[in-house]
Structure 1
Amino acid sequence: MTAKEKTSFLYVTYIHSTPDKVFEAITRPDLARRYWGHENVSDWQPGSRWEHIRANDQRTVELVGKVIEASPPKRLVMTWTNASQEADPESYSRVSFDIEEYEDMVRLTVAHDELEAGGGMAKGVTKGWPLVLSSLKSFLETGRGLDIFAKPKAA
């Protein structure tokens, strides 16, 4: 068996907010629902399970993983996979949120690595993270997230 090629995704944004508010927006289900349309649910202790649950009537668990590191409000690291692939150790990737003060704002760096190159998850996060993190920025700066489920209009 040959090892699958891995890839990574890196996104950096600046948010007029505080590290505490950014960390809370990622980890508090009631806040994440307002800009992501999902809730991130965990006790956020290293080794604990986390679930990414669609905030609708079905409350579908879409992604799961384990918390690797939680150092509020500066860093959060967790594994990440589709709920349907939870039993497959090869399917897991890793997401790191690094939150640092930068003048009167926050520099948020999101690194999503250990992704299978060319795989569905890699393709999804390449499109998904910029949209989710733009919505997070809008939410924290204006109180209103973007409609991340809006579809582009056909030309």
Structure 2
Amino acid sequence: MSKSDESTYAYVSFIRTTPEKLWSALTDPTQMKEYWFGMHFETEWKTGAAWQLLFPDGKVADTGEILEFDRPRKLRLKWRNEFKPELKAEGFALCTIELEPYGDAVRLSITHTMERADSAFIRSVAGGWPKVLSNLKSFLETGLIVITQTDHAH
């Protein structure tokens, strides 16, 4: 498959925290609800486990499988949207989350890739990740949330 046959979204943020605290925020449902608009993951957090991202009302937003779980460095997820039929029809994407110490901060890299040119799902996550990660950064650095609502575009 050539690069023209896939869609990719990549985001890098530097968060003044420790890898352990960032990992905890990424995997703990209580913390996740604080910065992810009340949404959270339900999973066993181990390689091979199924996962669901749930809306505050309990409806399923996204699902997938944990392909790699290397605490507190790397998380690879098979990821599919479940609530928008046109996005679900595109199938599964791959999401890679990497944490790397960077001085007094952590470099957080997220890459979402789908083996489909001009993916509507990748366009959707490109609108959602910046909001979620801005809130995550604010949450870990100040305890405050900047963006308080979402249009559920993703």
TM-score, with structure 2 as normaliser: 0.85
Relative to structure 1, is the Cα distance of residues 118 and 145 closer, same or farther in structure 2, using a 3 angstrom cutoff? same
Relative to structure 1, is the Cα distance of residues 137 and 77 closer, same or farther in structure 2, using a 3 angstrom cutoff? same
Partner of 2:31: 31
SS, match of residue 91 in structure 1: coil
The answer as to whether partners of 2:90 and 2:119 remain within 8 angstroms in 1 is no
The size of the alignment, in residue pairs, is 144
| Root mean square deviation of aligned Cα | 2.0
Partner of 2:67: 68
**Cα displacement string for residues 31-87 of structure 1 (whole angstroms, at most 9, x for unaligned residues):** 1100002101111111100110012xx2111100000000111111111101257xx
Partner of 1:122: 122
SS, match of residue 44 in structure 2: coil
Partners in 2 of 1:123 and 1:134 — Cα distance?
18
Partner of 1:97: 97
Partners in 2 of 1:136 and 1:5 — Cα distance?
32
SS, match of residue 116 in structure 1: coil
The answer for unaligned runs of 5 or more in structure 1 is none
Q: CA deviation at 1:90?
A: 5.5
Aligned AA (1:48) = A
Query: What is the identity percentage for the equivalent residue pairs of Structure 1 and Structure 2?
Result: 31
Q: CA deviation at 1:150?
A: 5.5
The answer as to whether partners of 1:47 and 1:67 remain within 8 angstroms in 2 is yes
Q: Is 1:136 the counterpart of 2:136 in the alignment?
A: yes
The answer as to whether partners of 1:23 and 1:72 remain within 8 angstroms in 2 is yes
Partner of 1:51: 52
Paired residues for 1:6-25 under 5 Å: 6-25=6-25
Partners in 2 of 1:31 and 1:119 — Cα distance?
30
Q: CA deviation at 1:141?
A: 0.4
Aligned AA (1:41) = E
TM-score, with structure 1 as normaliser: 0.85
Relative to structure 1, is the Cα distance of residues 130 and 80 closer, same or farther in structure 2, using a 3 angstrom cutoff? same
**Cα displacement string for residues 3-42 of structure 1 (whole angstroms, at most 9, x for unaligned residues):** x931111111100001011111111111110000210111
Partners in 1 of 2:66 and 2:16 — Cα distance?
27
The answer as to whether partners of 1:45 and 1:70 remain within 8 angstroms in 2 is yes
- Structure 1 segments of 4+ aligned residues over 4 angstroms from their partners: none
The answer as to whether partners of 1:132 and 1:148 remain within 8 angstroms in 2 is no
The answer as to whether partners of 1:51 and 1:65 remain within 8 angstroms in 2 is yes
The answer as to whether partners of 2:96 and 2:112 remain within 8 angstroms in 1 is yes
Partners in 2 of 1:94 and 1:145 — Cα distance?
27
